[in-house]
Structure 1
Amino acid sequence: MGRIRRALVAGAVVVAGVVGTTGWATADAQVAVTGPPPGTAAWRADSAGGRPLPDPVTSTPRQIADFFAELSSAERGALTHRHPQVVGNLDGAPVPLRYEANRLAVTATHDPRYARLAAPDRQILAFDPRGRGQVAEVYGELAHAAHVAVVVPGSDIDARTFDRANDPYGTPAGMAASLRGATHQRVAVIAWAGYTTPVGVGVDAASGRLAEAGAGRLERFTEGLDAVGAPDPALFCHSYGSVVCGLAAKHTDASDIVALGSPGMRADSVAGLGTHARVWAAKDPSDWIDDVPHIEFAGLGHGTDPTDPAFGARRVPAADAQGHTGYFAPGTESLAAFAAIATGDVR
């Protein structure tokens, strides 16, 4: 009886949070973008040197890497120009080809909202214009990096808000650039907005539906990094992005998983994540996420606060970070700690 009563109280707290939090009523339900990239049908109908092309769905990133390794430079270039949307999003394909393919794909949209992504100095590792748009960008030289970090953002991030100027350290691009700078350019950092994020603080943000779809995409993305010879990445997971990382944890080969400003990771403890990665957690005293009930009931809520000592994560100092998006601000102890984690300078 006591267990039932506690469950009912927990459910009431979640429902009260849903009803009483500004934005719940107006947040839009999102349709997760999943499945193969645009242009897959034409890709499947094509061939290279008389050989069928690897299926984007059934082929592993390692099989895709092996396929491209057998092609001549001319054959690779031809496929890139014939199928830029597929090659640009094909985990396991050579990184330079993906950069070139995504420049072509962005330009082909003729959408001024995305034009900045086609600039010659940008290294766009993934671009999908479906829905609100998804994008991943590399800061640094991925091919020769000794260390790799991946920033996984939370709500309200898409291809158009990926690098907004009015909140630089609340965007994946700003977080990635700041982290790379803090490591003195020793780490290749990837800003990965590769899943459909919630909009606003609504039921999408309180449920795991979009995170589950995002986790599958993050798992394959990290498999793709491994297939091209990149080091095991450190994942920096902000806000709802930490829900994605929590669900993906046991299927990635991440060296470290850092949850910051987290509503929970859909696990009761580090052991529940099923990962061999070191798990870290950061939350500053002024972060509004602390007002979110850290419980899970009837599919709503994301469970234990990762900064709770009972969760078992290593605590990242963040006392001087400001608000929900201040963790990567230059000069903060949280950013210094993140840089040490990314470079492997902490044990």
Structure 2
Amino acid sequence: MKTVFTTSMCTHVWAQQVQENGRGPNRSLYFEGPTLYSYGYHYVLGHFFLSPSGRRYVVINSERYSNTTAKHVSKARSAVHGHDVNVLVAPVDRQLAWDLTAGNYEAAWDAIRRGRDHRIVTYRHGMDSKQSDAIIATVQFAESWGLALEREDIRPAEDSEAGKRYAEAVAYRRKMEERRAKSEASRNDMSPEAVAKRKRDYERRNAALLRKHNDWFAEQVEELNHWRRYENVSKRDRVQLDYKTRRKLEDMHEKLGHAPLPTALRRKDEYSEVETSRGAWVPWRDAVRLYQFATMVKEGRLSSAPDRMRCGLFTLNKVHPNGDVQVGCHFLTYHEMHHLAHKFGVAVIEPQTQQMEV
């Protein structure tokens, strides 16, 4: 059984929960059973567990210690996307993961609650926007845990020191929101001249954002094409965007009704595997059979592919009538699969299901 993978593939295999252990190429990322670690047992990156009523959860650690660990967290969140599991983002450590695996829910909740109260009371005295946001976020993380563990006592006790600090933080945030609302109202001059000026300013900003969106999307498409051809693109040649601007462009892309960029596929002549643009690998033989099943469904020769069919380490979730497929967290368009199949001369014939694990 293969246990050494690329970093992205390691998170995908962990998300599938089809084998007991695995690791990345340099041992910085590895998993043992339901738990994914980054750089050692001290940092639990992700953990699968069941709630007291049997609901399936995966917790992704919200605490980030380094840039590399932050990248690991991003890959893990991407890998669990699309799976039938409730995703929880909150602080987690190894002892807590052990308690959840063993079903020690009381001990787990007690540790979460004590950690929450300790963090709140150790924040520096005084109150500002950063302080109030940090305290409220700490309580919200604990509330997420409480809901997952089906608790009712998810808020700090009002008469406790932590409860008083939390109430102070909530009151401060409410005061700031009222102040911002008052300031906004004072700027809402409804005279015809002011309305016309705001409309012109909005249209000018929207036009500039649309131009930036078109440049950004064209660059994304070009990068994907370079990736398909195994060509590297220098970071200096890319449009540099901050996080806020990138989110604005992604929101505009969705509002314009454009579909997100598809998962791309590539394969070198001498390789026996297909790579996805999300960092996963599947055997070429399985990829060919998946394409053949999708073609038969698209042409109406099959109503659907076999249930729970395996494609490498992944499970086929669904084949749509138009030939698009959902495999694990990957959505593959038929056009993308057909393009790769045509490039390597794959014949559209009836696949041999007995040769593929089902």
TM-score band, normalised by shorter chain: under 0.3
More helix by share: 2
Pick the structure with greater CA Rg. 2
Q: Which has the higher contact order (CA 8 A, sep 6+)?
A: 1
